[in-house]
Amino acid sequence: MTSSAQERPLRIVHAVRAPVGGIIRHILDLANGQADRGHQVALITDSLTGGDRAAAALDEIAPKMKLGVYRLPIRREPSVTDLFVWGRFVRLIAGLKPDVLHGHGAKAGVFMRIVPRPAGSIRVYTPHGGSLHYPRSTWRGQLYSRLERLSMNRTELFLFESEFARATYQRMIGKPEGLVRCVFNGVTAGEFDPIALAPDATDVCYVGEFRHIKGADLLVDAIARLRTKGRRVTLTLGGDGEETEALKAQVARLDLGAAVRFIGHVKARHGFAQGRLLVVPSRGDSMPYVVIEAAAAGVPMIAADVGGIPEIFGPEHRPALFAPNDPAAMAAAIAAALDDPTTARDRAKLLRERIFLHFSQKAMVEGVLAGYRAALAEQ
Protein backbone atom coordinates (compact mmCIF):
# COMPACT_ATOMS: atom_id res chain seq x y z
CA MET A 1 0.00 0.00 0.00
CA THR A 2 1.39 3.43 -0.91
CA SER A 3 2.03 6.18 1.64
CA SER A 4 -0.92 8.21 0.35
CA ALA A 5 -3.21 5.20 0.67
CA GLN A 6 -1.96 4.69 4.23
CA GLU A 7 -3.02 8.25 5.10
CA ARG A 8 -6.38 8.41 3.32
CA PRO A 9 -9.54 8.60 5.47
CA LEU A 10 -11.19 5.22 5.97
CA ARG A 11 -14.84 4.24 5.79
CA ILE A 12 -15.42 2.23 8.98
CA VAL A 13 -18.53 0.34 10.14
CA HIS A 14 -18.76 -0.85 13.76
CA ALA A 15 -21.44 -3.40 14.67
CA VAL A 16 -22.43 -4.70 18.11
CA ARG A 17 -25.51 -6.39 19.49
CA ALA A 18 -26.26 -4.77 22.86
CA PRO A 19 -25.67 -1.01 23.21
CA VAL A 20 -25.01 -1.30 26.97
CA GLY A 21 -22.10 -1.84 29.34
CA GLY A 22 -18.39 -1.62 28.72
CA ILE A 23 -18.63 -2.89 25.15
CA ILE A 24 -20.64 0.11 23.93
CA ARG A 25 -18.44 2.44 25.96
CA HIS A 26 -15.44 1.03 24.09
CA ILE A 27 -17.11 1.39 20.69
CA LEU A 28 -18.32 4.96 21.32
CA ASP A 29 -14.84 6.04 22.47
CA LEU A 30 -13.26 4.31 19.49
CA ALA A 31 -15.76 5.72 16.97
CA ASN A 32 -15.39 9.22 18.43
CA GLY A 33 -11.61 9.03 18.20
CA GLN A 34 -11.75 7.76 14.63
CA ALA A 35 -14.18 10.49 13.60
CA ASP A 36 -11.94 13.13 15.24
CA ARG A 37 -9.09 11.86 13.03
CA GLY A 38 -11.11 12.42 9.87
CA HIS A 39 -12.48 8.94 9.22
CA GLN A 40 -16.09 8.29 8.16
CA VAL A 41 -17.79 6.00 10.64
CA ALA A 42 -21.09 4.15 11.02
CA LEU A 43 -22.60 2.26 13.97
CA ILE A 44 -24.97 -0.70 13.77
CA THR A 45 -26.54 -1.93 17.01
CA ASP A 46 -29.57 -3.63 18.53
CA SER A 47 -32.89 -1.81 18.83
CA LEU A 48 -34.37 -4.14 21.48
CA THR A 49 -32.09 -3.32 24.42
CA GLY A 50 -30.59 -0.30 26.13
CA GLY A 51 -33.77 1.75 26.51
CA ASP A 52 -33.58 5.53 26.86
CA ARG A 53 -29.98 5.41 28.06
CA ALA A 54 -28.72 3.79 24.86
CA ALA A 55 -30.91 6.03 22.71
CA ALA A 56 -29.46 9.14 24.36
CA ALA A 57 -25.86 7.94 23.92
CA LEU A 58 -26.41 7.10 20.26
CA ASP A 59 -28.23 10.40 19.62
CA GLU A 60 -25.28 12.25 21.13
CA ILE A 61 -22.70 10.62 18.88
CA ALA A 62 -24.88 10.55 15.73
CA PRO A 63 -23.80 13.97 14.33
CA LYS A 64 -20.19 12.73 14.15
CA MET A 65 -21.10 9.43 12.49
CA LYS A 66 -20.94 10.54 8.86
CA LEU A 67 -22.04 7.10 7.59
CA GLY A 68 -24.99 6.94 9.99
CA VAL A 69 -26.31 5.12 13.08
CA TYR A 70 -28.54 2.10 12.45
CA ARG A 71 -30.58 0.05 14.94
CA LEU A 72 -31.80 -3.45 14.08
CA PRO A 73 -33.63 -6.07 16.22
CA ILE A 74 -30.63 -8.30 17.05
CA ARG A 75 -31.60 -10.91 19.64
CA ARG A 76 -29.06 -12.34 22.08
CA GLU A 77 -29.98 -15.99 21.53
CA PRO A 78 -30.09 -17.70 18.11
CA SER A 79 -33.42 -16.92 16.45
CA VAL A 80 -35.21 -17.35 13.11
CA THR A 81 -35.19 -13.54 12.92
CA ASP A 82 -31.41 -13.71 12.50
CA LEU A 83 -31.93 -14.38 8.78
CA PHE A 84 -33.89 -11.16 8.43
CA VAL A 85 -31.27 -9.22 10.39
CA TRP A 86 -28.46 -10.72 8.32
CA GLY A 87 -30.27 -9.55 5.19
CA ARG A 88 -30.36 -6.03 6.60
CA PHE A 89 -26.62 -6.26 7.29
CA VAL A 90 -26.02 -7.32 3.69
CA ARG A 91 -27.94 -4.35 2.32
CA LEU A 92 -26.29 -1.87 4.69
CA ILE A 93 -22.75 -3.04 3.90
CA ALA A 94 -23.49 -3.02 0.16
CA GLY A 95 -24.70 0.57 0.41
CA LEU A 96 -22.05 1.91 2.79
CA LYS A 97 -19.10 0.28 0.95
CA PRO A 98 -16.78 0.37 3.97
CA ASP A 99 -13.04 -0.22 3.99
CA VAL A 100 -13.35 -1.75 7.47
CA LEU A 101 -16.12 -4.06 8.73
CA HIS A 102 -15.52 -4.21 12.50
CA GLY A 103 -17.71 -6.66 14.42
CA HIS A 104 -17.77 -6.55 18.23
CA GLY A 105 -19.00 -9.47 20.33
CA ALA A 106 -20.22 -12.89 19.22
CA LYS A 107 -23.35 -12.16 17.21
CA ALA A 108 -22.35 -8.96 15.43
CA GLY A 109 -18.96 -10.56 14.88
CA VAL A 110 -20.56 -13.38 12.92
CA PHE A 111 -22.87 -11.09 10.92
CA MET A 112 -20.01 -8.80 9.91
CA ARG A 113 -17.84 -11.66 8.72
CA ILE A 114 -20.39 -13.58 6.67
CA VAL A 115 -21.81 -10.65 4.68
CA PRO A 116 -20.39 -10.16 1.18
CA ARG A 117 -17.60 -7.62 1.64
CA PRO A 118 -16.59 -4.85 -0.75
CA ALA A 119 -13.42 -5.45 -2.77
CA GLY A 120 -10.28 -4.50 -0.88
CA SER A 121 -12.03 -4.19 2.48
CA ILE A 122 -11.08 -6.00 5.68
CA ARG A 123 -13.16 -7.85 8.27
CA VAL A 124 -12.16 -7.14 11.86
CA TYR A 125 -13.31 -8.99 14.97
CA THR A 126 -13.11 -8.10 18.66
CA PRO A 127 -14.72 -10.85 20.82
CA HIS A 128 -15.12 -8.79 24.05
CA GLY A 129 -15.54 -12.09 25.91
CA GLY A 130 -18.86 -12.89 24.20
CA SER A 131 -19.03 -16.51 23.10
CA LEU A 132 -15.80 -17.26 24.97
CA HIS A 133 -17.73 -17.11 28.25
CA TYR A 134 -19.91 -20.11 27.29
CA PRO A 135 -18.50 -23.50 28.43
CA ARG A 136 -18.09 -25.93 25.57
CA SER A 137 -20.00 -28.51 27.62
CA THR A 138 -23.24 -26.56 26.97
CA TRP A 139 -25.20 -26.54 23.71
CA ARG A 140 -24.73 -22.77 23.44
CA GLY A 141 -21.01 -23.19 23.93
CA GLN A 142 -20.91 -25.85 21.22
CA LEU A 143 -22.93 -23.72 18.81
CA TYR A 144 -20.93 -20.53 19.35
CA SER A 145 -17.62 -22.41 19.12
CA ARG A 146 -18.65 -23.83 15.74
CA LEU A 147 -19.72 -20.40 14.50
CA GLU A 148 -16.43 -18.91 15.72
CA ARG A 149 -14.42 -21.59 13.91
CA LEU A 150 -16.44 -21.13 10.71
CA SER A 151 -15.86 -17.37 10.84
CA MET A 152 -12.20 -17.51 11.86
CA ASN A 153 -10.83 -17.79 8.33
CA ARG A 154 -13.09 -14.97 7.14
CA THR A 155 -11.24 -12.47 9.35
CA GLU A 156 -8.35 -10.32 8.19
CA LEU A 157 -7.69 -8.77 11.62
CA PHE A 158 -8.34 -9.96 15.18
CA LEU A 159 -8.22 -7.19 17.79
CA PHE A 160 -8.15 -8.42 21.38
CA GLU A 161 -8.45 -6.01 24.32
CA SER A 162 -6.32 -8.23 26.58
CA GLU A 163 -3.75 -10.97 26.37
CA PHE A 164 -6.19 -13.07 28.37
CA ALA A 165 -8.81 -12.75 25.61
CA ARG A 166 -6.28 -13.67 22.94
CA ALA A 167 -5.09 -16.75 24.88
CA THR A 168 -8.67 -17.82 25.64
CA TYR A 169 -9.70 -17.53 22.00
CA GLN A 170 -6.69 -19.52 20.86
CA ARG A 171 -7.36 -22.25 23.45
CA MET A 172 -11.09 -22.55 22.79
CA ILE A 173 -11.34 -21.81 19.06
CA GLY A 174 -7.93 -22.10 17.45
CA LYS A 175 -5.03 -20.04 16.23
CA PRO A 176 -6.21 -17.31 13.84
CA GLU A 177 -4.68 -17.16 10.38
CA GLY A 178 -5.36 -13.45 10.06
CA LEU A 179 -3.35 -10.64 11.60
CA VAL A 180 -3.62 -10.51 15.42
CA ARG A 181 -3.15 -7.42 17.60
CA CYS A 182 -3.76 -6.76 21.30
CA VAL A 183 -4.88 -3.19 22.08
CA PHE A 184 -5.86 -2.25 25.64
CA ASN A 185 -9.05 -0.31 26.34
CA GLY A 186 -8.37 3.30 27.28
CA VAL A 187 -9.89 6.22 29.16
CA THR A 188 -9.99 9.95 28.46
CA ALA A 189 -7.96 12.68 30.20
CA GLY A 190 -10.94 13.92 32.24
CA GLU A 191 -11.31 10.53 33.91
CA PHE A 192 -8.06 11.06 35.82
CA ASP A 193 -9.69 13.84 37.87
CA PRO A 194 -10.05 12.88 41.56
CA ILE A 195 -13.45 11.95 42.98
CA ALA A 196 -14.91 13.44 46.17
CA LEU A 197 -16.49 10.87 48.48
CA ALA A 198 -20.23 11.33 49.05
CA PRO A 199 -21.21 12.46 52.58
CA ASP A 200 -23.37 9.35 53.02
CA ALA A 201 -20.88 6.93 51.44
CA THR A 202 -21.10 3.31 52.51
CA ASP A 203 -18.09 1.13 53.31
CA VAL A 204 -18.25 -0.71 49.97
CA CYS A 205 -19.67 0.04 46.54
CA TYR A 206 -20.31 -1.87 43.31
CA VAL A 207 -20.77 -0.24 39.89
CA GLY A 208 -21.86 -2.25 36.85
CA GLU A 209 -24.47 -4.44 35.26
CA PHE A 210 -26.51 -6.92 37.28
CA ARG A 211 -25.64 -10.05 35.33
CA HIS A 212 -24.50 -13.44 36.60
CA ILE A 213 -21.02 -13.09 35.13
CA LYS A 214 -20.48 -9.77 36.96
CA GLY A 215 -20.90 -11.44 40.37
CA ALA A 216 -22.89 -8.85 42.34
CA ASP A 217 -24.63 -11.74 44.12
CA LEU A 218 -21.23 -12.99 45.32
CA LEU A 219 -20.55 -9.55 46.78
CA VAL A 220 -23.88 -9.58 48.64
CA ASP A 221 -22.93 -12.98 50.08
CA ALA A 222 -19.55 -11.61 51.17
CA ILE A 223 -21.20 -8.67 52.94
CA ALA A 224 -23.57 -11.08 54.70
CA ARG A 225 -20.57 -13.14 55.90
CA LEU A 226 -18.87 -10.07 57.32
CA ARG A 227 -21.99 -8.94 59.14
CA THR A 228 -22.54 -12.41 60.56
CA LYS A 229 -19.06 -12.08 62.10
CA GLY A 230 -20.09 -8.80 63.73
CA ARG A 231 -18.66 -6.31 61.21
CA ARG A 232 -21.27 -3.65 60.44
CA VAL A 233 -20.23 -3.32 56.77
CA THR A 234 -22.53 -1.41 54.42
CA LEU A 235 -22.87 -1.67 50.64
CA THR A 236 -24.13 0.48 47.76
CA LEU A 237 -25.09 -1.30 44.54
CA GLY A 238 -25.05 1.00 41.51
CA GLY A 239 -26.43 -0.64 38.39
CA ASP A 240 -29.31 -2.50 36.82
CA GLY A 241 -29.94 -5.49 34.60
CA GLU A 242 -31.58 -8.87 34.32
CA GLU A 243 -30.74 -9.91 37.90
CA THR A 244 -32.03 -6.80 39.69
CA GLU A 245 -35.04 -8.50 41.27
CA ALA A 246 -33.03 -11.60 42.18
CA LEU A 247 -30.47 -9.43 43.97
CA LYS A 248 -33.17 -7.59 45.91
CA ALA A 249 -34.68 -10.94 46.91
CA GLN A 250 -31.24 -12.15 48.02
CA VAL A 251 -30.74 -9.06 50.19
CA ALA A 252 -34.14 -9.64 51.79
CA ARG A 253 -33.47 -13.37 52.31
CA LEU A 254 -30.17 -12.64 54.03
CA ASP A 255 -31.87 -10.04 56.23
CA LEU A 256 -29.40 -7.33 55.21
CA GLY A 257 -32.07 -4.62 55.36
CA ALA A 258 -30.59 -1.12 55.51
CA ALA A 259 -27.03 -2.47 55.14
CA VAL A 260 -27.46 -2.64 51.35
CA ARG A 261 -28.88 0.12 49.19
CA PHE A 262 -29.76 0.06 45.50
CA ILE A 263 -29.29 3.35 43.62
CA GLY A 264 -30.07 2.15 40.07
CA HIS A 265 -27.96 2.86 37.03
CA VAL A 266 -25.53 5.71 37.59
CA LYS A 267 -22.55 7.16 35.78
CA ALA A 268 -19.41 5.35 36.88
CA ARG A 269 -17.80 8.31 38.64
CA HIS A 270 -20.96 9.04 40.62
CA GLY A 271 -21.10 5.37 41.64
CA PHE A 272 -17.45 5.38 42.74
CA ALA A 273 -18.22 8.25 45.16
CA GLN A 274 -20.83 6.18 46.98
CA GLY A 275 -18.40 3.88 48.79
CA ARG A 276 -14.99 4.02 50.46
CA LEU A 277 -13.91 0.83 48.70
CA LEU A 278 -14.92 -0.35 45.22
CA VAL A 279 -15.25 -4.12 44.84
CA VAL A 280 -15.23 -5.81 41.42
CA PRO A 281 -16.54 -9.35 42.07
CA SER A 282 -16.65 -10.69 38.49
CA ARG A 283 -16.89 -14.38 37.73
CA GLY A 284 -15.37 -13.62 34.31
CA ASP A 285 -14.16 -10.51 32.49
CA SER A 286 -11.79 -9.61 29.69
CA MET A 287 -10.83 -5.95 30.10
CA PRO A 288 -13.58 -4.27 32.19
CA TYR A 289 -13.86 -0.53 31.82
CA VAL A 290 -15.08 -0.10 35.39
CA VAL A 291 -11.68 -1.24 36.66
CA ILE A 292 -9.76 1.10 34.32
CA GLU A 293 -12.06 4.05 35.12
CA ALA A 294 -11.80 3.53 38.87
CA ALA A 295 -8.03 3.11 38.69
CA ALA A 296 -7.69 6.31 36.62
CA ALA A 297 -9.65 8.22 39.26
CA GLY A 298 -7.49 6.84 42.08
CA VAL A 299 -10.37 4.98 43.73
CA PRO A 300 -9.36 2.40 46.39
CA MET A 301 -10.35 -0.93 44.85
CA ILE A 302 -10.10 -4.69 45.14
CA ALA A 303 -11.08 -7.08 42.35
CA ALA A 304 -11.42 -10.72 41.41
CA ASP A 305 -8.27 -12.29 40.00
CA VAL A 306 -9.93 -13.29 36.75
CA GLY A 307 -9.72 -12.68 33.01
CA GLY A 308 -7.82 -9.57 31.95
CA ILE A 309 -8.17 -7.81 35.32
CA PRO A 310 -4.61 -8.78 36.43
CA GLU A 311 -3.27 -7.15 33.25
CA ILE A 312 -4.80 -3.85 34.39
CA PHE A 313 -3.39 -4.10 37.91
CA GLY A 314 0.04 -5.36 36.85
CA PRO A 315 2.23 -7.71 38.91
CA GLU A 316 3.05 -5.10 41.55
CA HIS A 317 -0.61 -4.74 42.56
CA ARG A 318 -1.57 -8.41 42.94
CA PRO A 319 -2.30 -8.01 46.70
CA ALA A 320 -5.46 -6.12 45.65
CA LEU A 321 -6.81 -9.22 43.86
CA PHE A 322 -8.79 -12.07 45.45
CA ALA A 323 -9.78 -15.55 44.31
CA PRO A 324 -12.81 -15.43 41.96
CA ASN A 325 -16.18 -17.04 42.66
CA ASP A 326 -15.34 -17.26 46.39
CA PRO A 327 -17.39 -15.07 48.79
CA ALA A 328 -15.18 -16.05 51.73
CA ALA A 329 -12.02 -14.86 49.95
CA MET A 330 -13.81 -11.69 48.89
CA ALA A 331 -14.99 -11.04 52.46
CA ALA A 332 -11.43 -11.43 53.75
CA ALA A 333 -10.10 -9.02 51.12
CA ILE A 334 -12.80 -6.45 51.96
CA ALA A 335 -12.00 -6.69 55.68
CA ALA A 336 -8.26 -6.29 55.04
CA ALA A 337 -8.77 -3.21 52.83
CA LEU A 338 -11.17 -1.55 55.27
CA ASP A 339 -8.82 -2.27 58.20
CA ASP A 340 -5.88 -0.60 56.40
CA PRO A 341 -7.28 2.31 54.38
CA THR A 342 -3.87 3.99 54.11
CA THR A 343 -2.40 1.05 52.18
CA ALA A 344 -5.53 0.90 49.99
CA ARG A 345 -5.18 4.61 49.13
CA ASP A 346 -1.44 4.32 48.46
CA ARG A 347 -2.02 1.34 46.17
CA ALA A 348 -4.73 3.29 44.31
CA LYS A 349 -2.33 6.19 43.76
CA LEU A 350 0.32 3.94 42.22
CA LEU A 351 -2.25 2.14 40.06
CA ARG A 352 -3.48 5.49 38.75
CA GLU A 353 0.04 6.19 37.46
CA ARG A 354 0.09 2.83 35.68
CA ILE A 355 -3.23 3.56 33.95
CA PHE A 356 -1.96 6.96 32.82
CA LEU A 357 0.99 5.27 31.10
CA HIS A 358 -0.72 2.27 29.48
CA PHE A 359 -4.50 2.75 29.19
CA SER A 360 -5.26 6.05 27.42
CA GLN A 361 -8.00 6.53 24.84
CA LYS A 362 -5.44 8.06 22.47
CA ALA A 363 -3.26 4.93 22.57
CA MET A 364 -6.34 2.72 22.08
CA VAL A 365 -7.59 4.61 19.00
CA GLU A 366 -4.15 4.79 17.41
CA GLY A 367 -3.46 1.12 18.13
CA VAL A 368 -6.71 0.05 16.48
CA LEU A 369 -6.10 2.26 13.44
CA ALA A 370 -2.57 0.87 13.11
CA GLY A 371 -4.08 -2.62 13.08
CA TYR A 372 -6.51 -1.59 10.33
CA ARG A 373 -3.69 -0.13 8.21
CA ALA A 374 -1.54 -3.24 8.59
CA ALA A 375 -4.40 -5.52 7.57
CA LEU A 376 -5.34 -3.30 4.62
CA ALA A 377 -1.71 -3.29 3.50
CA GLU A 378 -1.79 -7.10 3.36
CA GLN A 379 -4.84 -6.87 1.10
The answer to whether residues 353 and 367 belong to one domain is no
Of residues 212 and 129, the one with the higher pLDDT is: 212
Question: What digits encode the pLDDT tens for the residues 137-193?
Answer: 676 667 777 888 888 889 999 999 999 999 988 988 889 888 999 999 999 999 999
> What is the structure's pLDDT at 139?
66
What sign does the dihedral 69-73-76-81 (CA atoms) show? negative
Q: What angle do CA 190, 239, 108 make, to 5 degrees?
A: 80
The answer to whether residues 71 and 148 belong to one domain is yes
pTM of the model: 0.84
**Count of domains for the chain:** 2
Average the pLDDT over each of 40-44, 79-83, 328-332 and give the range with the smallest value. Answer: 79-83
Q: Range of 267's domain?
A: 190-358
> What is the structure's pLDDT at 121?
97
The answer to whether residues 91 and 200 belong to one domain is no
Q: Is the pLDDT of residue 268 over 50?
A: yes
Q: What is the mean pLDDT of residues 312-339?
A: 96
Rg of the chain, C-alpha, whole Å = 21
The answer to whether residues 332 and 372 belong to one domain is no
Q: What is the mean pLDDT of residues 251-255?
A: 97
Q: Is the pLDDT of residue 312 over 70?
A: yes
The answer to whether residues 242 and 341 belong to one domain is yes
Query: Sorting pLDDT into bands at 50, 70 and 90, what band is 2?
Result: very low
> What is the structure's pLDDT at 20?
87
Question: What digits encode the pLDDT tens for the residues 56-74?
Answer: 999 999 999 999 999 999 9
The answer to whether residues 281 and 368 belong to one domain is no
The answer to whether residues 141 and 257 belong to one domain is no
- Is 266 in contact with 238 (CB distance < 8 Å)? yes
Q: What is the mean pLDDT of residues 82-104?
A: 96
The answer to whether residues 137 and 202 belong to one domain is no
Question: What digits encode the pLDDT tens for the residues 13-39?
Answer: 999 998 988 899 999 999 999 999 999
Of residues 132 and 47, the one with the higher pLDDT is: 47
Q: What is the CATH number of the domain that holds 54?
A: 3.40.50.2000
The answer to whether residues 354 and 366 belong to one domain is no
What's the rounded Cα separation, in Å, for the pair 43 and 40?
11
Please report, for residues 143, 205, 278, the alpha-carbon distance to residue 337 in angstroms, rounded to integers and kept in the order given: 42, 13, 10
Mean pLDDT of the chain: 93
Q: What percent of the chain has pLDDT over 90?
A: 80
Query: Sorting pLDDT into bands at 50, 70 and 90, what band is 3?
Result: very low
The answer to whether residues 305 and 330 belong to one domain is yes
> What is the structure's pLDDT at 149?
86
The answer to whether residues 222 and 95 belong to one domain is no
> What is the structure's pLDDT at 362?
93
Strand pairing partners for 71? 45
> What is the structure's pLDDT at 22?
84
- Three-class SS state of 214: helix
> What is the structure's pLDDT at 365?
97
The answer to whether residues 311 and 341 belong to one domain is yes
